[in-house]
């Protein structure tokens, strides 16, 4: 690992789809204990970057590593350290919450008492007891999101990649999830994609913005908030997009 606390390293990362350059030579790292708000307008390249970092998309140019493991040449090792909550997390609707988390635990290599313990911890952290035996397709959007979050933390990963983790949650649930993120942050590197400035200032220790595939801001949440008197990220995006 580059530096004892560097958990994510992205160097010159680029993704092209034919003539379209979706991610254009971006470089940054995330250390243990950091909660990084990863931001940008729609189509900026956020989800594409996350998919490359988690191994869901091949990299066109540059490198990315997780806990010192290259995400392409050491794919299995890097994925072992990652918990990923994609946008619209894919859940098996006909499974109950219990069956789904059991399936994910087995995929992660857990069995017996270890499997049950990992499920119980995730269920408690996300408050899923009321829907534990209900089919996922019957759950509200908020509960589905929380089940998706639970599968991401089931194996207690060193790195969490969360795409809109509070999407669909009511204000109380958002508060609970933000508190959970802060509780877990001390020994992990966490990357959160969000469109909510309040979430950045409430949870994140750092913010990175990309626009048109390029990195255009890397600084503190306070510095980011100071650029938006209206408290809307869209205003910041418009400003940075017009400059790039």
Q: Is there a contact between 146 and 173 (Cβ–Cβ < 8 Å)?
A: yes
What's the pLDDT at 230? 66
Euclidean distance between CA atoms 70 and 77, whole angstroms? 8
- 229: buried, middle or exposed (CB in 10 Å: 19+, 13-18, 0-12)? exposed
Euclidean distance between CA atoms 64 and 50, whole angstroms? 10
Q: Which residues of 129-155 are buried (b: 16+ CB within 10 A; e: fewer)?
A: eebeeeebeebeebbbbbbbbbbbbbb
What's the pLDDT at 167? 84
- DSSP single-letter state for residue 69: E
State residue 218 phi and psi, 5-degree precision: -150, 105
Q: Is there a contact between 100 and 131 (Cβ–Cβ < 8 Å)?
A: no
Among all chains, which residue has been given the structure tokens 């949440």? 221
Whether the model pTM is above 0.75:
yes
Put the strands of the sheet holding 82-85 in their side by side order: 82-85, 159-163, 189-193, 35-39, 206-211, 214-219
Q: Is there a contact between 159 and 82 (Cβ–Cβ < 8 Å)?
A: yes
CA separation, residue 17 to residues 13, 22, 144 (Å): 14, 7, 31
Residue boundaries of the structural domains of the chain: 1-81+159-173+185-244, 92-156
> pLDDT by residue for the chain (244 residues), tens digit each?
444 589 999 999 999 999 999 999 999 999 999 999 999 888 889 989 999 999 999 999 999 999 999 999 999 999 999 999 988 766 788 999 999 999 999 999 999 999 999 999 999 999 999 999 999 999 998 899 999 999 999 999 999 999 989 888 889 889 988 999 999 999 999 999 987 888 888 899 999 999 989 999 999 988 887 877 666 777 777 777 666 5
The yes/no answer on whether domain 1-81+159-173+185-244 falls in CATH 3.40.50.200 is no
* Signed CA dihedral, 171, 204, 153, 55: sign only: positive
What's the pLDDT at 7? 96
**Closest by Cα among 176, 169, 183 to 126:** 176
- 231: buried, middle or exposed (CB in 10 Å: 19+, 13-18, 0-12)? exposed
Euclidean distance between CA atoms 34 and 28, whole angstroms? 13
- DSSP single-letter state for residue 1: -
Among all chains, which residue has been given the structure tokens 């001390």? 186
């Amino acid at each position: 690992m580059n530096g004892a606390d560097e958990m994510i390293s992205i160097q010159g990362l680029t993704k092209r789809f034919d003539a379209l350059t979706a991610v254009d030579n971006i470089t940054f790292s995330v250390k243990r204990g950091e909660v990084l708000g990863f931001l940008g307008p729609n189509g900026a390249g956020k989800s594409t970057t996350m998919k490359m970092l988690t191994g869901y998309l091949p990299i066109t140019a540059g490198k990315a590593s997780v806990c010192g493991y290259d995400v392409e040449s050491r794919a299995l090792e890097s994925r072992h350290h990652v918990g990923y909550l994609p946008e619209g997390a894919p859940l098996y609707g006909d499974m109950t919450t219990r069956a789904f988390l059991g399936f994910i635990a087995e995929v992660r290599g857990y069995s017996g008492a270890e499997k049950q313990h990992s499920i119980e911890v995730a269920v408690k952290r996300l408050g899923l007891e009321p829907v534990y035996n209900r089919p996922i397709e019957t759950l509200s959007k908020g509960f589905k999101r929380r089940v998706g979050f639970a599968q991401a933390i089931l194996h207690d990963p060193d790195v969490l990649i969360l795409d809109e983790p509070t999407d669909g949650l009511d204000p109380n649930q958002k508060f609970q999830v933000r508190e959970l993120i802060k509780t877990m942050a001390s020994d992990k590197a966490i990357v959160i994609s969000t469109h909510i400035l309040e979430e950045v200032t409430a949870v994140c220790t750092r913010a990175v913005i990309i626009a048109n595939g390029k990195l255009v801001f890397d600084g503190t949440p306070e510095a980011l908030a100071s650029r938006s008197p209206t408290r809307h990220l869209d205003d910041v995006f418009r400003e940075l997009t017009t400059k790039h």
